[in-house]
Structure 1
Amino acid sequence: MPKKKNRVDKGRYGIYFIIPYFVVFLLFSLYPIIYTLIISLEKWDGMSLNQTFVGLKNYVTLIHDSLFYQAIANTLIMWICAVIPQMVLALLLAVLFNSAKKIRGKEFFRAAMYLPNLVTPAAVAVLFVFLFDWQTGAVNKVLLNLHLIKEPVNWFLSEFSSRGIMSLISWWMWFGYSTIIFGAGLNNIPAELYESASIDGATPWESFKSITMPLLKPTLLFAAVTSLIGGMQTFDIPYVMTGGQGNPNNKTLTVVMYLYNTAFQNSNYGYGSAIGYGLFILILIFSIITFKFINRNVEND
């Protein structure tokens, strides 16, 4: 009997410990999600007490909103331009750091690469605004001194260079994180496989192609999907660098920037909430596709 009572008491105490989590989840996660859905079905300026129910009108408008699709395209373009060099460099560095060769200062370089990830995106954006300022920026001064340009370049007037700078910032901030993730994946690959391949006469490239890449595929896809989810929510960097305008000609306007401007600048909370749910559906679709792809490839491997 006493043992049974102890088991009951332990179970009860376990419930007490998880109650705070559910309270926080209900207040700060579930409630905002439901409330945002309700607002997306209404017309509301965020100030008045009158909230007019409009049904699916906001979503119908969203489907025909060309600026929303342009914001999606901008977000995806900047994400792709950042994630491809980021993944390639991170994979090369992870393989280098996890190789059998001793590299002096390896731990220092790992820590140094991760440091940009600890800085807030807004602070990094301000730093790069000063670096690429067309009048006083260090980039123009260096290029002028090297005689690579004849006069200062206003980098933020060009669609190509504006997107390129923002992709560069994203790459710089996150490639250290990806290197650590890939390094953890490489550490999980049994060393015996490489030893067997070496005995069979396989070259380093053949071992990389036949052992490393197949076994690292789940890690690569995990990094890709988390990067996609984060990339679709890009806000701080383009907002700070363009003053929230998405210049030039809305070519750096991201989905979250469009949401913010609609809801908080134009006081259209109903349509802003609909944009938020549109973004949620996009991320959900991309995540489902990626996870199905992961499961299929893992089973095949």
Structure 2
Amino acid sequence: MTTAAPVRSGVAPQDPRDPHNPRARRRRTLRRALPLYVAISPFYLLFAVFGLFPILFSIVLSFTDWDGMGDMSFVGLAQYQFLLSDGRFWNAVGNTFIIWFLSTIPMLFLAMVIAFLLHQNIRFTKFYRVAFFLPNVTSMVAMAIVFGSVFSDTFGLINSALTAVGLDSVPWLSSPWGIKVTIAIMVIWRFTGYNAIIYLAGLQSIPTDLYDAAKVDGASLWQVFFRVTIPMMRPIILFTVITSTIGGLSLFTEPQVLLGDSGGAGEAGMTIVLYQYNQAFTQFDFGYGSAIAWALFLIAAVFSIINWRLVSGRGDDAPRRSSRTKEARR
């Protein structure tokens, strides 16, 4: 006569084929999800190889002295210490911020005005949208060559027009401020239409009842723009300010094609990314180039946080003030 095996802890073992077994459910879920993970795995593999690995490797490089050929030598924080005392780096930082200020504020204002006008009932709206967005998809290298011809000191179209009306020519590409203004105009020309399309999408999401109420109250077009459109567009404005800040601090193609690796006269067009490119791929100082890259990341992060606080701060306080006002009226 045989006896059943004792059950430990008073719990009967679960059959792995039981559909209510947690392990069986996890295996079934894994089998169902496995094809989905396999389908999206190429993106993550490519990102790991060409995105994540270079980022992590650049962190390691910033603590070394390496020319890309010999052995790496660990130098600790020496690259960052030299960066803090590097006058050329701080000159590039100053140039970048000046160009950002000259380009971003007029660009976003013009983009908002263009989007507001395109949002009205006008003819050929689709044509205008394509026309304003076209500069963003145009080759920047080709347009930098065109801008170099337009703003040339000797045979440029701008100076020819100024001379024709009796004015003095402007040294656009040979003076510090001329170089900065030229690069800023290139940035405005390229990204105004892009931001206008984003603003237009935000305008189309605003309820039309607000505009109807403003018209009933007798508000003018500019009153509607500043008192209805701008407050409702605050999240979109915040997005464009942050993206434009990151893009403005990462300027490279415009000064590099227009002025060359030297950054023009007196390095007036030397931006942070152009200086990083020179150090890494001209001087072959990959360690210092990586340190500049992470310094740029820190500057962009801090500047984006400041912009986020300035643009969204009052918008976050508005509901509190309105609720306090309603309570006071009660």
TM-score, normalised to structure 1, is 0.90
Deviation at 1:62, TM superposition (A): 0.8
Instruction: Indicate whether 1:215 and 2:237 are aligned.
Output: no
Out of 2, 14, 29, the residue aligned to residue 36 of structure 2 is 14
Whichever residue aligns with residue 61 of structure 1, its letter is F
Deviation at 1:13, TM superposition (A): 2.0
Whichever residue aligns with residue 223 of structure 1, its letter is T
> 1:43-64 CA distances to partner (integer Å, 9 max, x unpaired)?
111222x211101100111112
- Equivalent residue, structure 1, for 2:127: 108
Instruction: Indicate whether 1:187 and 2:204 are aligned.
Output: yes
What are the residue-to-residue correspondences of 1:260-279 with 2, within 5 Å?
260-279=277-296
Deviation at 1:227, TM superposition (A): 0.4
Deviation at 1:293, TM superposition (A): 5.0
Taking structure 1 as reference, are residues 8 and 233 closer, same or farther at Cα in structure 2, changes over 3 Å only? same
Identity percentage of aligned residues: 35
- Equivalent residue, structure 1, for 2:246: 229
Cα separation, 2, equivalents of 1:171 and 1:206: 26
* Large movers: runs of 4+ above 6 Å: none
Cα separation, 1, equivalents of 2:103 and 2:199: 17
Cα separation, 2, equivalents of 1:93 and 1:106: 11
Cα separation, 2, equivalents of 1:146 and 1:137: 15
Out of 54, 61, 70, the residue aligned to residue 39 of structure 1 is 61
- Equivalent residue, structure 1, for 2:6: none
Taking structure 1 as reference, are residues 98 and 83 closer, same or farther at Cα in structure 2, changes over 3 Å only? same
Whichever residue aligns with residue 83 of structure 1, its letter is T
Instruction: Indicate whether 1:96 and 2:117 are aligned.
Output: yes
Taking structure 1 as reference, are residues 10 and 295 closer, same or farther at Cα in structure 2, changes over 3 Å only? farther
Whichever residue aligns with residue 131 of structure 1, its letter is V
Aligned 8 A contact 2:171 2:178 in 1:
no
Instruction: Indicate whether 1:58 and 2:79 are aligned.
Output: yes
Instruction: Indicate whether 1:239 and 2:256 are aligned.
Output: yes
Matched residue SS, 1:267: coil
Deviation at 1:198, TM superposition (A): 2.9
Whichever residue aligns with residue 120 of structure 1, its letter is S
Is the deviation greater in 33-42 or in 126-135? 126-135
Instruction: Indicate whether 1:75 and 2:96 are aligned.
Output: yes
Count of aligned pairs between the two proteins:
295
- Equivalent residue, structure 1, for 2:136: 117
Whichever residue aligns with residue 166 of structure 2, its letter is H
Whichever residue aligns with residue 87 of structure 1, its letter is L
Cα separation, 1, equivalents of 2:37 and 2:163: 66
Whichever residue aligns with residue 174 of structure 1, its letter is F
- Equivalent residue, structure 2, for 1:29: 51
TM-score, normalised to structure 2, is 0.83
Instruction: Indicate whether 1:135 and 2:135 are aligned.
Output: no
Taking structure 1 as reference, are residues 231 and 14 closer, same or farther at Cα in structure 2, changes over 3 Å only? same
Cα separation, 1, equivalents of 2:115 and 2:226: 15
Deviation at 1:134, TM superposition (A): 2.7
Whichever residue aligns with residue 235 of structure 1, its letter is F
Matched residue SS, 1:261: helix
Cα separation, 2, equivalents of 1:255 and 1:191: 44
Is the deviation greater in 163-172 or in 127-136? 127-136
Whichever residue aligns with residue 15 of structure 1, its letter is Y
Cα separation, 1, equivalents of 2:314 and 2:176: 37
> 1:21-66 CA distances to partner (integer Å, 9 max, x unpaired)?
2211110111001111111111111222x21110110011111222
> 1:106-153 CA distances to partner (integer Å, 9 max, x unpaired)?
21111111111111222211111122223332222232233323xx55
- Equivalent residue, structure 2, for 1:253: 270
Please give the root-mean-square deviation of Cα atoms over the aligned residues, in Å.
Answer: 2.1
Aligned 8 A contact 2:108 2:192 in 1:
yes
Is the deviation greater in 232-241 or in 195-204? 195-204
Cα separation, 1, equivalents of 2:227 and 2:142: 42
Cα separation, 2, equivalents of 1:130 and 1:294: 38
Whichever residue aligns with residue 141 of structure 2, its letter is A
The structure whose Rg is larger is 2
Instruction: Indicate whether 1:145 and 2:164 are aligned.
Output: yes
Whichever residue aligns with residue 263 of structure 2, its letter is G
Deviation at 1:73, TM superposition (A): 1.1
- Equivalent residue, structure 1, for 2:298: 281
Whichever residue aligns with residue 228 of structure 1, its letter is T
Cα separation, 1, equivalents of 2:100 and 2:111: 16
Cα separation, 2, equivalents of 1:109 and 1:207: 22
Q: Which has the higher contact order (CA 8 A, sep 6+)?
A: 1
